[in-house]
């Protein structure tokens, strides 16, 4: 068949698959095929008892598809019935009530005196320390006050807003460093001062530093050479 015959044949097959057949009128065939329909194309369709044309191979494929769908439907129904039976059986087993047996001479409705007491429920959930700052890291013992805890949390929030947040290892190192440099009394004020100054680290206010007095050289004009030598030797 030519290329145009192949196109016409495919379009007629599509029409038969969706409508069940193709018309016998030439005008309708051409309209469906989008052009003239050659004798070679029409030879692939057989005239049936109802007066319509059909391709026998396409109808055989239709029957195969219908048979496959019917089998799949039957399998699905059988599977659903089996699951339903299993579910009903499990429900019946779960709701079975065993008859109670009581020893002779014991009044009905009274508990057995020798029945074991229920085992106590043990809660294995670990308790959370109130000094946890983040990542399970706790405040050092020297800074364990409510004010220091709030100061650390406020500092972590401040660092997070600056996109300079800590990770677990860095936070541990920072807490150790702060416990060495500050006391529980001076740490909160140092945090407030450092945030107000826009610093990236915690430093004490300048006024908290006590400068060491400078040592002036002694006036040697009042001493003899021997006294001066002795003073230099003693440092």
Place of tokens 């050289």: 217
Q: Could you read off the pLDDT of 146-173 as tens digits, one per residue?
A: 999 999 999 999 999 999 889 999 999 9
Average pLDDT over residues 43-49: 93
Angstrom distance (rounded) from CA 131 to CA 112: 49
Burial 80-98 (b: 16+ CB within 10 A, else e): eeeeeeeeeeeeeeeeeee
Q: Is residue 63 a contact partner of residue 17, using CB atoms and an 8 Å limit?
A: no
Rounded to an integer, the average pLDDT of 175-189 is: 93
Identify which has the larger pLDDT, 91 or 224: 224
Q: Which residues contact 129 (CB under 8 A, 6 or more apart)?
A: 138
Q: Is the pLDDT of residue 91 over 80?
A: no
Strand partners, 137: 134
What's the rounded mean pLDDT across residues 35-43?
92
Choose the weakest-confidence range: 22-26, 64-68, 139-143, 230-234: 230-234
Contact by Cβ (8 Å): 182, 191: no
Q: Is 38's pLDDT higher than 60?
A: yes
Using the predicted structure, report yes or no on whether residue 185 has a pLDDT greater than 60: yes
How big is the chain, counted in residues? 235
Report if pTM > 0.75: no
Are the beta carbons of 148 and 188 closer than 8 angstroms? Answer: yes
């Amino acid at each position: 068949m030519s290329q145009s015959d192949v196109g016409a044949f495919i379009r007629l097959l599509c029409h038969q698959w969706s409508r069940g057949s193709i018309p016998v009128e030439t005008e309708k065939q051409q309209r469906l095929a989008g052009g003239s329909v050659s004798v070679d194309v029409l030879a692939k369709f057989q005239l049936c008892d109802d007066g319509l044309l059909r391709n026998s191979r396409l109808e055989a494929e239709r029957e195969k598809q219908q048979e496959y769908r019917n089998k799949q439907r039957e399998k699905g129904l059988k599977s659903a019935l089996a699951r339903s039976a299993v579910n009903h059986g499990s429900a019946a087993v779960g709701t079975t009530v065993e008859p109670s047996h009581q020893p002779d001479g014991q009044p009905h409705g009274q508990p057995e005196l020798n029945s074991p007491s229920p085992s106590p429920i043990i809660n294995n959930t670990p308790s959370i320390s109130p000094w946890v700052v983040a990542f399970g890291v706790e405040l050092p013992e020297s800074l364990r006050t409510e004010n220091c805890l709030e100061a650390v949390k406020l500092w972590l929030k401040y660092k997070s807003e600056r996109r300079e947040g800590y990770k677990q290892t860095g936070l541990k190192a920072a807490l150790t460093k702060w416990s060495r440099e500050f006391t529980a009394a001076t740490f909160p004020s140092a945090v407030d001062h450092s945030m107000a100054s826009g610093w990236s680290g915690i430093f004490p206010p300048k006024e908290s530093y006590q400068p060491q007095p400078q040592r002036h050289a002694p006036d040697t004009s009042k001493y003899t050479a021997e006294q001066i030598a002795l003073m230099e030797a003693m440092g």
